């Protein structure tokens, strides 16, 4: 079930890019990990080599080598997820030590680290999971990271307002917006409709 679910999600994510997949693959050095399109039609992709790609039409791709541009300032990253919306794009991945890092940008040229701190029972903690997907919810104006440990991590515009929820799944694969609801998909056949 989990393997079929991953294949379905990958098919949905990559489906819009099939016509230009060869151009995208040729533009990137690393292996493609995730793709998305923002509401204005700009398309984004990330690779495990720390590359962030963007395209206005899916045919011509510009490659931003995050690891080369930020060498010595930020850790070397292997991207796993990307999402865009609300005038921003967000990428999530693992550094060389296997720790989660999330970065955000308004135009894709200057990137800032996103705080992963949250409050749990009055104590401050920092999220450190393996990311699987990112999505943007325009109704809540928030990005959502899905990951290992059944993690759903909400990141609104206020970086001090992050919120962690865990669901009964080894891995939460996706949060799919459906009007005023969202469907959560996870391992072990987990499926839940989240009411906003």
- Asked if residue 187 is part of any domain, the answer here is no
- Asked if residue 47 is part of any domain, the answer here is yes
- Asked if residue 191 is part of any domain, the answer here is no
Instruction: Say if residue 21's pLDDT is above 90.
Output: no
Banded pLDDT at 59 (limits 50, 70, 90): confident
Residues in the chain: 196
- Look up the pTM and report it: 0.86
15 lies in which domain range?
2-128+161-170
Number of compact structural domains in the chain: 1
- Asked if residue 80 is part of any domain, the answer here is yes
- Asked if residue 27 is part of any domain, the answer here is yes
How many whole angstroms separate alpha carbon 68 and alpha carbon 157?
A: 28
């Amino acid at each position: 079930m989990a393997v079929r679910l991953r294949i379905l999600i990958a098919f949905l994510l990559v489906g819009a890019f099939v016509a230009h997949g060869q151009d995208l693959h040729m533009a990137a050095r690393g292996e493609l990990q995730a793709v998305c399109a923002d509401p204005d039609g700009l398309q984004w992709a990330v690779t495990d080599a720390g590359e962030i790609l963007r395209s206005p039409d899916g045919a011509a791709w510009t490659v931003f080598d995050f690891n080369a541009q930020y060498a010595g300032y930020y850790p070397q990253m292997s991207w796993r997820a990307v999402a865009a919306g609300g005038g921003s794009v967000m990428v999530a991945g693992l550094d060389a030590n296997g720790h989660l890092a999330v970065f955000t940008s308004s135009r894709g040229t200057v990137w800032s680290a996103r705080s992963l701190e949250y409050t749990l029972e009055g104590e401050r903690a920092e999220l450190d999971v393996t990311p699987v997907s990112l999505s943007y919810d325009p109704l809540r104006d928030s990005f959502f990271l899905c990951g290992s440990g059944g993690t759903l991590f909400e990141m609104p515009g206020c970086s001090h307002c992050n919120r962690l929820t865990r669901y009964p799944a080894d891995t939460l694969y996706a949060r799919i917006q459906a009007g005023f609801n969202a469907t959560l998909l996870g391992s072990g056949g987990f499926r839940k409709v989240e009411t906003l």
